[in-house]
Amino acid sequence: MQILLANPRGFCAGVDRAISIVENALAIYGAPIYVRHEVVHNRYVVDSLRQRGAIFIEQISEVPDGAILIFSAHGVSQAVRNEAKSRDLTVFDATCPLVTKVHMEVARASRRGEESILIGHAGHPEVEGTMGQYSNPEGGDVPG
């Protein structure tokens, strides 16, 4: 059996969408545009966007009042959304639609009082965003 791999394989549709959102925001509104977390795990793309005026931040408190904020393809927790809303920031959500689907499932399970188990890397933006949809007070990290 012969297996052929296309090289380079490129980004998934969700990442392509997130990159386009940042590029379009820069083109329309100009620099600076604040992006919560690096929009994709690719140094070349991140550096290119940074050179064009994207500022990658980890905390909403790093964003000045009246600025434009983009959520990365990894998604964010409800707490982050609420903080951005309370600050009246202009927000563009570049969360991957597939990540959004997972967020909706976790939120639905939480509302029903069901437990959710997520296997992933602690501290990774996508894991934090997903677990941030879960509002059950008994939920949380599993020690390990």
Alpha-carbon torsion (134, 110, 41, 25), positive or negative: negative
Catalytic residue at 115?
Answer: no
H/E stretch holding 57: strand 54-57
Residues ≥6 apart with Cβ < 8 Å to 132? 76, 77, 78, 79, 80
Say how many Å lie between the first and final Cα of the chain, rounded: 41
Residues ≥6 apart with Cβ < 8 Å to 40? 11, 15, 18, 19, 46, 72, 73
Using CA atoms, how far apart are residues 34 and 56, in angstroms rounded to an integer?
6
Query: Of the listed 38, 105, 114, 126, which one is catalytic?
Result: 126
Strand partners, 61: none
Catalytic sites, residue numbers: 126
